[in-house]
C-alpha cells in the first residue's frame, strides 16, 4: 500500500496542477487505478482519503464523474461512508452527490447496491455532530429522492432517513447550510411518502 499511496499522491499533484486536455486524457486510466486501489485496501483510510481528494477535483469535469459512476466507483465511495474518519465520510458523500447530480445511470447503480441507503443513514448517525457530513448526506438523500419514484422515497423513509435528517436539524439548528439541505431533503422525500410509512419515524 505504501507504493500505491505514493502513486496516489503523485496523481493528486498532477490533477491539481493540470486542468487541461492532458488531464482529460489521463483521468480515465488514473481513475481506474485509484478505484482498484480503494477496493484492494478497504481498511486503509489514508489511501481512501488520498483517492477521494483526487476524485473531488476530477468530478468537476462531468465526463470524469460519469466514468467514476459507471466503473465501480459508487461501491468504493459507499464503503468510505462507513469510515471513522469524518473528513473521509464528508468528501465521499460530496463526490457521490456530484456524480448523481450529473449522471442518472449512476443513481441506478447506487440503488442496485445492497443496503446503499442504510450505509448513508448509518454514516449520518455515526457523524451526527459533523456539519459537512450532515450537509452532503442530506443533499445525497434529497437527490436520490428527486431522481426516483415513490418506492425509493419509501425506502429512505422506512430505512431511517427521516429520523437521520431530523436529527441533523436538531443538532445543527444554527447552521443555515445544514438546515437548508435537511429541509430540502425532507420536502423531497415527504412528497412521495405514504403517511403509514412515517409511523414510528
pLDDT tens sequence across 145-159:
888 878 888 889 888
Half-sphere exposure of 111 (CA within 13 A, CB side): 18
Q: How many C-beta neighbours within 10 Å does residue 131 have?
A: 17
Which of 14-18, 28-32, 40-44, 158-162 is least confident?
14-18
Distance of CA 153 to the CA centre of its chain: 17
Separation CA 195–CA 32 (nearest Å): 44
Separation CA 172–CA 137 (nearest Å): 14
Q: Any idea which residue has 425506502 for its cell?
A: 155
Please report the pLDDT score of residue 183 as a whole number: 96
* Long-range contacts at 170-176 (CB < 8 A, ≥ 24 apart): 171/128, 171/129, 171/134, 172/131, 172/134, 175/131
Q: Answer whether residue 161 shows pLDDT above 90.
A: yes
Please report the pLDDT score of residue 34 as a whole number: 82
Please report the pLDDT score of residue 63 as a whole number: 76
Q: Answer whether residue 23 shows pLDDT above 60.
A: no
165 or 115, which is more confident? Answer: 165
Cell, residue 4: 500505491
Amino acid at each position: 500500500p505504501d507504493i500505491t499511496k505514493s502513486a496516489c499522491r503523485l496523481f493528486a499533484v498532477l490533477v491539481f496542477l493540470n486542468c487541461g486536455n492532458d488531464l482529460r486524457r489521463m483521468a480515465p486510466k488514473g481513475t481506474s487505478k485509484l478505484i482498484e486501489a480503494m477496493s484492494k485496501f478497504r481498511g486503509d483510510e489514508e489511501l481512501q482519503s488520498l483517492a477521494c481528494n483526487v476524485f473531488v477535483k476530477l468530478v468537476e469535469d462531468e465526463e470524469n464523474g460519469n466514468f467514476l459512476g459507471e466503473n465501480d466507483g459508487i461501491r468504493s465511495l459507499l464503503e468510505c461512508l462507513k469510515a471513522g474518519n469524518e473528513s473521509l465520510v464528508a468528501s465521499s458523500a460530496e463526490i457521490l452527490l456530484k456524480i448523481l447530480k450529473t449522471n442518472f445511470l449512476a443513481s441506478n447503480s447506487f440503488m442496485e447496491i445492497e443496503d446503499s441507503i442504510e450505509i448513508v443513514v448509518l454514516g449520518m448517525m455515526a457523524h451526527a455532530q459533523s456539519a459537512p457530513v450532515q450537509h452532503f448526506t442530506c443533499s445525497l438523500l434529497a437527490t436520490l429522492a428527486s431522481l426516483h419514484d415513490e418506492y425509493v422515497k419509501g425506502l429512505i423513509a422506512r430505512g431511517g432517513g427521516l429520523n437521520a435528517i431530523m436529527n441533523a436539524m436538531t443538532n445543527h439548528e444554527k447552521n443555515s447550510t445544514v438546515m437548508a439541505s435537511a429541509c430540502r431533503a425532507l420536502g423531497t422525500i415527504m412528497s412521495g411518502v405514504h403517511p403509514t410509512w412515517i409511523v414510528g419515524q
